[in-house]
Chain A
Amino acid sequence: MIYKGKAHKVGEHVDTDAIIPARFLVTADPEKLGENCMAGLEPDWVSRVNKGDILVAGRNFGCGSSREHAPLAILGAGMPVVVGHSFARIFYRNAFNMGLPLMEVGDAMDAINDGDEIEIDTATGRIRDLTNGAEIVCPPLPESMSKILESGGLVGYVKQRLEEK
């Protein structure tokens, strides 16, 4: 998949309470969750996002709770992929399970500036900053994650397995 959109940068250790505060966890609807995406970071943060924009995150993104509502809120806000320095482990699993690909790039993320136009090819792992010309190559996805993404997320993956049984 190729994604192209405006980069929205957030800092280090952005936790799941920042991504979607617990008081909004009374629904599982991605659109509704998306309306409050990053409300724990800054009120109305999400108003800057246009559909197709890309989240660029600092170290340990998604730390904290196991709420799957966090990747759902990001997807619901219209951001289809996240580039990050590193990700907390429960968030990492959840994102792929929900069909939200994550690109773990370490310090290379510094090359991307807030507001830049970026292009991502998840198949090759190539990330290009179209505004400043920087290019980042992300290590390939673990096989287990690729399998899940190929099935359209974990729901599809398990469905296949249950049908085989």
Chain B
Amino acid sequence: MPRTLAQKILQRHTDEPVEDGAIVQCRVSMVLANDITGPLAIKSFRGMGAERVFDRDRIALVMDHFTPQKDIDSANQVLISRRFAEEQQITHYYEGGNCGVEHTLLPELGLVNPGDLVIGADSHTCTYGGIGAFATGMGSTDIAAAMALGETWLKVPSTIRVEYAGEMSRWMRAKDLMLLLIGRIGVDGALYKALEFGGPVIAALGVEGRLTMANMAIEAGAKVGLFPVDAVTLSWCAERGHTVAPDIRDGLAADPDAKYDQVLHMDVTGLEPVVACPHLPSNVMPVSEVKDVPIQQVVIGSCTNGRISDMRDAAEILRGRKVDKKVRCIVLPSTPEVWKACLAEGLMEVFMDAGCIVGPCTCGPCLGGHMGILGNGEAAVTTTNRNFKGRMGTLDSQLYLASPIVAAASAVAGKVAGPREIGL
């Protein structure tokens, strides 16, 4: 029977027949938790009476959300994970100088690979769908169970296929493609389902753009957002020296006659960059239609848009320009590797000359943690993934989600703006 990408990947990890709607017990390739969700997972792990993790090489603990530790409570919270990592001799524990935003870090290090089944105690675990891994977020206790058993149960999701075609305009990016989809189907448009991406625009999209799109699958309610393992993925893995399992060495894609819940066609020709307006990621409109919204902050970074291609995009806009005096423009490259690449390519100089604040690799402001919080009535353009009420600060603050291109242009303009509004 012809199969969807979700079915094919899941079948690699279970001996039970994989059919839409079936509940299957799966072996996991990697299990992830962070500084917020780790301590709860550890508490549940102990409560289960578990003594050893199933495989010390298949667990990643990344202390990225409140890093560098923002206060006494968050510092003490990290200690719980650190001690657990020492006790269990967890190979992949990240805190301090080797730490980055988890969903940028793990694919970069080759800890998740095409065809893998990854679960993480973080909703944006779905990011790894960008390289063709079935990856999904769960709560801490599900993660604890997987740490103990090396398995998890999953309900096989039915799939919505999304085909992108047409010509991308100069300033359109992967973020725009995903926001347009969320705007079309809504924040629960893919609830309990898999999204599967395809079409000529996707075939031409780089791995970093695919990771950006898969990252926001959860913002449409989806369990996963899957991209095929194709020539783009395989050459990215080869360049980075990452292993690809023998059975998918030539790629992995859905069968042509696979059965879908729905097939959506998105034509991008003639479209311009978009923003998601407060307070839902589905509240999407062309940036040029958002008139005269002054902003006080811009954030460029996060697991959605903190990779080197995002930094290059931001620098392209900011080079030779100045951030508006009323705006704090915060740039957070999401891993040490991205940070160093910015340095090597001269992007840090561009950011500093423009008047940006360049900070450490942290999730920080995305979830209103620290390093860029909004005060009463303030507004921000941010390259992060959620613009829920109060997410980055006070309950009356306003968040506009956008690509690094639009975020950087807005920083220069001092208001929500695209490249056209600053004369590009």
Residues in B353-403 with C-beta less than 8 Å from chain A: 367-369, 386, 388-391, 395
> Which B residues touch A161, using CB under 8 A?
149
Checking A18, A97, A159 against B388 with a beta-carbon cut-off of 8 angstroms, the contacting residue is A18
Q: Are B395 and A43 in contact (CB under 8 A)?
A: yes
When distances are taken between beta carbons in the complex, the residues of chain B under 8 Å from A158 are 48, 50, 144-145, 148-149
A108 is an interface residue with CB less than 8 A from chain B: no
Decide: A40 and B188 in contact? CB cutoff 8 A.
no
How far, in angstroms, from A62 to B125 measured CA to CA in the complex? 17
Q: Is A89 among interface residues, defined by CB-CB distance under 8 A?
A: yes
Determine if B386 and A66 form an interchain contact, defined as CB atoms under 8 angstroms apart.
no
B187 and A65 within 8 A (CB): no
What 0/1 pattern do residues 327 to 355 of B give for CB contact below 8 A with A?
Answer: 00000000000000000000000000000
Q: Is the CB of A27 within 8 A of B73?
A: yes
Q: Which residues of A contact B81 (CB under 8 A)?
A: none
Question: Which of B142, B280, B367 touches A65 (beta carbons < 8 Å)?
Answer: B367
Complex Cα–Cα for A120 and B359 (A): 51
CB <8 Å contact, B149 and A66: no
Q: Does B223 contact A (CB under 8 A)?
A: yes
Least CB separation from B145: chain A residue: A158
Contact A69 B50 (CB under 8 A): no
B72, closest chain A residue (CB): A26
Within 8 A of B (CB), among A45-60: 59-60
Size bracket, chain B contacts: 35 or more
**For chain B, what secondary structure do more than half of its interface residues adopt (helix, strand, loop), or is it mixed?**
loop
Does A36 reach chain B (CB closer than 8 Å)? no
Q: What is the CA–CA distance of A52 and B137 in the complex, to the nearest angstrom?
A: 30
Q: Choose among A23, A42, A88, A163 the residue that contacts B221 (Cβ–Cβ < 8 A).
A: A88
A17, A22, A69: the one contacting B40 at CB < 8 Å is: A69
User: Contacts A18-B389, A66-B37: A155 and B48 contacting too (C-beta < 8 A)?
Assistant: yes
The answer to whether B368 and A25 have CB atoms under 8 Å apart is no
Judge if A34 is at the interface, Cβ distance under 8 Å: no
What residues on B are CB-neighbors of A90 within 8 Å? 123, 137-139, 218
Scan residues 88-132 of chain A and give those whose CB is less than 8 A from a CB of chain B.
88-90, 93-94, 97-98
In the assembled complex, the Cα of A126 lies from the Cα of B280 at a distance in Å of 33
Is A1 among interface residues, defined by CB-CB distance under 8 A?
Answer: no
**In this complex, what residue of A is CB-closest to B51?**
A162
**How far is the CB of B224 from the nearest CB of chain A, in Å?**
11
CA A101 to CA B71, docked complex, whole Å: 34
Chain A: CB-nearest residue to B151: A161
Residue B288 at the chain A interface, CB threshold 8 Å: no
Could you say which residues of chain A place their CB within 8 Å of the CB of B71?
26
Q: Is the pair A17, B221 in contact by a Cβ cutoff of 8 Å?
A: no
Q: Which residues of B contact A13 (CB under 8 A)?
A: 187-188, 280
- Bound together, the chains give a CA A69 to CA B141 distance in angstroms of 11
- CB closest residue in chain B, given A25: B36
Residues of A within 8 A of B (CB): 13, 15, 17-18, 21-23, 25-28, 40-43, 59-60, 63-69, 71, 86, 88-90, 93-94, 97-98, 142, 144, 153-155, 157-159, 161-163
A-B contact pairs, 15 of them (CB 8 A): A17-B367, A17-B386, A21-B368, A59-B188, A63-B188, A65-B122, A89-B223, A90-B123, A90-B138, A90-B139, A94-B141, A144-B23, A158-B50, A161-B149, A162-B48
